[in-house]
Homo-oligomer: A and B are copies of this chain.
């Protein structure tokens, strides 16, 4: 099974000239684009944590596994190229279920224009686990990192946040084109994708860059999904802390703002939500400049059945 499932991807997924050797040997051989550096990211997605095999279609699951990795390459300003897919299949699955999953990966790889260049399949007496390692490229020295935010920068976000659990966690579009456009046309300092939650991921930038931030809560774009009737948490809390939005969060000099927004071909309808300051940590402010207290513990992977912080 192992062999034929992986082989099935070899046939269906075409190869890029940079992928000198794909599925079928001890390792893939890639010849990187000259003048580029290599980006590698990896994410393991698990039944009961990141998806539920009992509820979610295999196509959603496969797409999410690939999309979260594509989003990581996007957040570096890069272009994804080759995916390495490891699957631990529950032993009680039928062969056709496994085939359907691999077919779903082929469909998603094609959607994201990446090639599955290697993989590993095993079955075991436990739930489905999927790991994807993704290879991408970015022009030499041009990667957008977390550690480059500067005092005075504005903080920007590429779209509305909160409530991704309602479905956007499966349907989100990794911002590959938008991040690339920003890397090419704007003086972006630091960038990350919002996977753990706005505050949590902003804190990753702040810690890595040794700076602080002030966020104006009234300017945070809130997704319709974040507004659930009867919910004990406010839409703002969802927008600030829900994970898996996969929007881009970046900082750039304030002077860039009008120039970038007025470029006729700007593909990113972004929102300015605050500013980088001296110090450490993130301060939330209302429209009158008063500090807002809010339970902003970002919590990742809300499908987890207990509330322990992993």
A interface residues (Cβ-Cβ under 8 A, vs B): 1-2, 20-21, 24-32, 37-44, 46-50, 72-73, 75-76, 78, 82, 84-89, 91, 117-127, 129, 131, 133-136, 138, 140, 143, 145-147, 192-193, 208, 300-301, 304-306, 308-310
Cβ distance A64 to chain B, nearest Cβ, rounded Å: 14
Is B24 a contact of A146 with CB atoms below 8 Å?
yes
Cβ distance A45 to chain B, nearest Cβ, rounded Å: 8
The CA-CA distance from A126 to B125 in the complex, in Å, is 9
Is A27 a contact of B41 with CB atoms below 8 Å?
yes
Is A38 a contact of B30 with CB atoms below 8 Å?
yes
The CA-CA distance from A75 to B25 in the complex, in Å, is 9
Beyond A29-B37, A29-B145: 17 further Cβ-contacts under 8 Å? Answer: A25-B147, A26-B41, A26-B75, A26-B193, A28-B40, A40-B133, A40-B135, A42-B133, A47-B124, A47-B126, A48-B124, A48-B126, A86-B131, A120-B131, A122-B310, A124-B304, A133-B133
Cβ distance A71 to chain B, nearest Cβ, rounded Å: 8
Is A44 a contact of B120 with CB atoms below 8 Å?
yes
Is B308 a contact of A91 with CB atoms below 8 Å?
yes
- Chain B residue at minimum C-beta to C-beta distance from A133: B133
In the complex, 12 of the A-B residue pairs with CB atoms within 8 angstroms, ordered by the A residue number, are A26-B72, A27-B73, A27-B76, A27-B136, A29-B38, A30-B37, A30-B40, A32-B38, A38-B135, A41-B118, A47-B124, A50-B122
Is B131 a contact of A78 with CB atoms below 8 Å?
no
Given contacts A46-B122, A48-B125, A125-B48, contact A40 B306 (CB under 8 A): no
The CA-CA distance from A308 to B93 in the complex, in Å, is 13
Task: For A85, list chain B residues within 8 Å (CB).
Answer: 42
Given contacts A2-B310, A21-B145, A131-B86, contact A37 B31 (CB under 8 A): yes
Return the contact of A42 from the options B20, B24, B131 (Cβ within 8 A). Answer: B131
The CA-CA distance from A24 to B203 in the complex, in Å, is 12
Task: For A134, list chain B residues within 8 Å (CB).
Answer: 27
Cβ distance A84 to chain B, nearest Cβ, rounded Å: 4
The CA-CA distance from A279 to B89 in the complex, in Å, is 35
The CA-CA distance from A75 to B27 in the complex, in Å, is 8
The CA-CA distance from A136 to B193 in the complex, in Å, is 27
Cβ distance A76 to chain B, nearest Cβ, rounded Å: 5
Shortest Cβ-Cβ A-B pairs, 10 listed: A133-B133, A131-B131, A44-B86, A27-B41, A27-B39, A42-B84, A26-B72, A26-B75, A123-B310, A30-B38
The CA-CA distance from A260 to B131 in the complex, in Å, is 41
Given contacts A91-B308, A125-B48, contact A84 B26 (CB under 8 A): no
Given contacts A24-B208, A48-B125, A145-B25, contact A31 B38 (CB under 8 A): yes
The CA-CA distance from A140 to B72 in the complex, in Å, is 28
Cβ distance A46 to chain B, nearest Cβ, rounded Å: 5
Is B88 a contact of A129 with CB atoms below 8 Å?
yes
Is A27 a contact of B125 with CB atoms below 8 Å?
no
The CA-CA distance from A25 to B144 in the complex, in Å, is 10
